[in-house]
Structures are given as C-alpha cells and as structure tokens.
Structure 1
Amino acid sequence: MVGGNAIRGSRVGAGPMGEAERGDAAPRRKVTYYCEHGHESSPSFAAEAVIPDSWDCIRCGLPASQDREHPPSAPRIEPYKTHLAYVKERRSDEDGAAILEEALQALRKRRSL
C-alpha cells in the first residue's frame, strides 16, 4: 500500500513562484566594518536605517569601525574579583582591623553571658 503525504518535503509558502510570490525585498545597502585583527564584516542595513558607528566583528567579536586604517582597539577586560577584593577596595587595613576587633569583642561578650 502506498501511503504518505502528498506534500512531503515541502514547506508552507514554498512554490514555483519564488520571489514574485513573496514580494520584493526592501532596499538595502552593505556597509563594511574593519576590526583590529584586519577582519572585514559587511552587514546589510535597510536603506533608510541609521548606520551604527561600530559593529561587532563576526569572526573574533572585537569592535569594528568603518575606518580601515584606525579600527577601534579591543576593550579592556576586567578580571573577576572576589568579594574580599571589593571589600579591600573600600576599606583600609586599619578599618578592617578595627571592625574585626569590634566583632571579636561582641562575640566574647555573648560567650561570657
């Protein structure tokens, strides 16, 4: 018995008409961006769209600009900081010692009760 679906392998909207069936594409323009590694990215934008000054490179992810001679430099990546590192930025060693002594006195007071 031959069974199956008559439209197997097709998708909704597929047909022999192609572009004429779907309508004309909006007018576009390509803009070329250059990153620090010399990669070129050429995204397409709508003709009436505002073109951004920078674009992320599709190969390395660095920022890219339209100026081939002076591409933007890579952003500085801050290393991961622990909670203790942030505390040390806010407090001096003397402040830390005073807070520690205060906490120890409070703990000793609770234990002596």
Structure 2
Amino acid sequence: MAGGNAIRGTRVGAGPMGEAERGESAPRRHTPFYCANGHVTRVSFAIEAAEPEHWDCPRCGLPAGKNQEAPPAAPRNEPYKTHLAYVRERRSDADGEAILEEALAKVRARRGE
C-alpha cells in the first residue's frame, strides 16, 4: 500500500546542481527601464529576443521606458462611474422623459387607470 507521500525519495534542493546538468544559458543583455518616479529597473533579455518599448516598474507600478530623460507619463485614471452616469452619456434628458412616460403609461394601463 502506498504511503501518501507522492515525492518519496526526494529532498528540498535535490535538483540539478549547475549548468552541466541544465545546459548552457542563452546569451543575455541587460536593458535599463526608467519610470517617472526615478526608479531604474534592469531587465535581462536573450540577445535574439525583441525588447518591449515599455515595462511596468516593479516598485511603483508605473510604466517605465528606455529613455531616462523622458520616461512615460503615468496613465490617467478615470473616476468610478455609476450606472446612471453611463446612461446619461447615452441618453439626453428628453430621451429619459420619453422613456419614463412610456413606462408610466404601461403601468397605468395595467392598473386600469
């Protein structure tokens, strides 16, 4: 009967010990990214990999770019909108009055008024 330990015979850190077992790592280049708060993040990419224009700063979460003199601006956060605010964007007050009158007419017809 099996014991219940699925990884019997292993221990923490029992993996390969170096590059001889894992193979050689790909040649790398380190690219600095600069955020608006002045943080510098150095990201390691494989030589043949394409670099992105922007990278999220791990310290503050702002977007970071490759140009230290002109880092990307922080994204503008939209304030929370209620359902009513979205409806008012789609409909004018006159449309709202017409819809309300139509709904009230249906309610009055159902009541027999």
The alpha-carbon distance between structure 1 residues 8 and 95, as it changes in their structure 2 partners (threshold 3 A), is: closer
Describe the superposition over 1:45-103 as per-residue Cα deviations: whole angstroms up to 9, x where unpaired: 11001111111111111111010010000001112212111100011111111110111
Matched residue, 1:47: 47
Is the CA contact (8 Å cut-off) linking 2:16 and 2:22 kept in structure 1?
Answer: no
Structure 2: gaps of 5 or more residues: 1-7
Matched residue, 1:22: 22
Query: Alignment partner of 1:43: what SS?
Result: strand
Query: Alignment partner of 2:75: what SS?
Result: coil
Matched residue, 2:5: none
The alpha-carbon distance between structure 1 residues 70 and 89, as it changes in their structure 2 partners (threshold 3 A), is: same
The alpha-carbon distance between structure 1 residues 8 and 49, as it changes in their structure 2 partners (threshold 3 A), is: closer
- The alpha carbon displacement at 1:9 in A equals 4.3
Q: Following the alignment from structure 1 to structure 2, what is the Cα–Cα distance between the partners of residues 6 and 102?
A: 75
- The alpha carbon displacement at 1:6 in A equals 7.2
TM-score for the superposition, normalised by structure 1: 0.85
Matched residue, 1:74: 74
What is the aligned-residue RMSD (CA, Å)? 1.8
Matched residue, 1:109: 109
State how many pairs are aligned.
Answer: 106
Letter of the structure 2 residue corresponding to residue 74 of structure 1: A
Query: Alignment partner of 1:52: what SS?
Result: coil
Structure 1: gaps of 5 or more residues: none
Letter of the structure 2 residue corresponding to residue 27 of structure 1: P
